[in-house]
C-alpha cells in the first residue's frame, strides 16, 4: 500500500504543512505531538476511511506482505485499544471470531468480544479461550508500556509486555498459527528473537511504511507455531525409567 498523501487538521499552513498555534498551558512535547498528528497523512487517511487509529494501516501493510489474515477463523488482539486492528480483521474476515483485550475501554465493534482487563489476570487466558471457542489462528499484539521519559526504562517496560504477549500467544495458538507483535529496537532483542525462533518456524522483523520513520518500533511476524515445547509434555523422568545397560 502506498502512503497516503495530504495533511489535515487545523492551524496555520506553512510550506504545505499545518503549524500548530502554541497554547500557553501546553507543553513543548504536547505541541510537537499535535503538530505531528496534524501533518501525518496516515492520521487523515484513517479518519477518512473510518479506522479508529492510524495503526490500522500497519496491519493492512503487514497483511499485504505476509498474508496474515488468509483463512484465519479465530483471532486474539492483545492491547487492542482503540480497536483499529480489530476493525481491519473484521473487514477482511467478517465471519471470524475475534477477541480483544486491553486495560483501556474499547468502544463496541460488531462481531468482536471485548474484555477490559489485564492480560496478566489469572482468568484472562480462560476467558479468551472460552470466547474463541478453540485455539487461535492468529495472535496480534500492539502493546506498549506508558513512557516515563527515560529511554532505557521505557524500553525495558515495553519489552516486558512483549514477552508477556509471547508467553500468552504460545498458550493460545494452534500449531501452525501466527504471532505478530510490536517490538522496539535496542537491548534484549536477541533474547526475544531466540525465544521466537524456538517457538515458530519463521521469524521476520519488519518496519511497515505506516510506522513513523523516527520511531524505534518494529514488528515481528512469527509464523508456523511449533506447538507447546516438548518438555511441557515429557513424562516425569523419575517414573518408568529403565536402568542403564551395563
Phi and psi at 131, nearest 5°, equal: -70, -35
* Catalytic annotation, residues: 182
Kindly give the interhelix angle for 151-172 and 189-199, rounded to the nearest 10 degrees. 10
By C-alpha distance, which of 125, 126, 93, 123 is closest to 110?
93
24-30: long-range pairs with CB below 8 Å, 24+? none
Kindly give the interhelix angle for 55-66 and 41-49, rounded to the nearest 10 degrees. 90
118 is in an annotated binding site: yes
Contacts of residue 130, defined as CB under 8 A and 6 or more positions apart, other chains included, come to none
Helix and strand tally (H, E) in the chain?
8, 9
102 is in an annotated binding site: yes
9 is in an annotated binding site: no
Cell 494452534 appears where? 174
Contacts of residue 154, defined as CB under 8 A and 6 or more positions apart, other chains included, come to 145, 147, 148
167 is in an annotated binding site: no
137 is in an annotated binding site: no
CA angle 66, 194, 146 (to 5 degrees): 75
Q: Binding-site residues for S-adenosyl-L-methionine, please? A: 83, 85, 102, 118, 142
Q: Binding-site residues, please? A: 83, 85, 102, 118, 142
Amino acid at each position: 500500500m502506498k502512503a497516503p498523501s495530504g495533511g489535515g487538521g487545523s492551524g496555520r499552513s506553512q510550506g504545505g504543512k499545518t503549524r500548530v498555534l502554541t497554547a500557553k498551558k501546553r507543553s513543548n512535547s504536547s505541541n510537537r505531538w499535535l503538530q505531528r498528528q496534524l501533518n501525518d497523512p496516515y492520521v487523515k487517511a484513517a479518519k477518512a476511511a473510518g479506522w479508529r487509529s492510524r495503526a490500522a494501516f500497519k496491519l493492512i501493510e503487514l497483511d499485504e506482505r505476509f498474508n496474515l489474515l488468509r483463512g484465519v477463523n479465530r483471532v486474539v488482539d492483545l492491547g487492542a485499544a482503540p480497536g483499529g486492528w480489530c476493525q481491519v480483521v473484521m473487514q477482511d474476515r467478517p465471519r471470524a471470531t475475534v477477541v480483544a483485550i486491553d486495560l483501556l475501554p474499547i468502544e463496541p465493534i460488531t462481531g468482536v468480544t471485548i474484555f477490559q482487563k489485564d492480560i496478566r489476570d489469572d482468568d484472562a487466558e480462560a476467558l479468551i479461550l472460552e470466547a474463541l471457542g478453540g485455539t487461535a489462528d492468529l495472535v496480534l499484539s500492539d502493546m506498549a508500556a506508558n513512557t516515563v521519559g527515560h529511554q532505557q526504562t521505557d524500553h525495558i517496560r515495553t519489552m516486558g509486555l512483549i514477552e508477556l504477549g509471547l508467553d500468552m500467544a504460545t498458550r493460545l495458538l494452534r500449531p501452525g498459527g501466527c504471532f505478530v507483535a510490536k517490538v522496539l529496537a535496542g537491548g534484549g532483542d536477541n533474547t526475544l528473537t531466540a525465544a521466537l525462533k524456538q517457538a515458530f518456524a519463521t521469524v521476520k522483523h519488519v518496519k511497515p511504511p505506516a510506522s513513523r520513520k523516527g520511531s524505534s518500533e518494529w514488528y515481528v511476524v512469527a509464523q508456523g507455531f511449533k506447538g507447546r515445547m516438548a518438555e511441557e509434555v515429557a513424562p516425569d523422568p523419575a517414573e518408568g525409567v529403565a536402568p542403564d545397560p551395563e
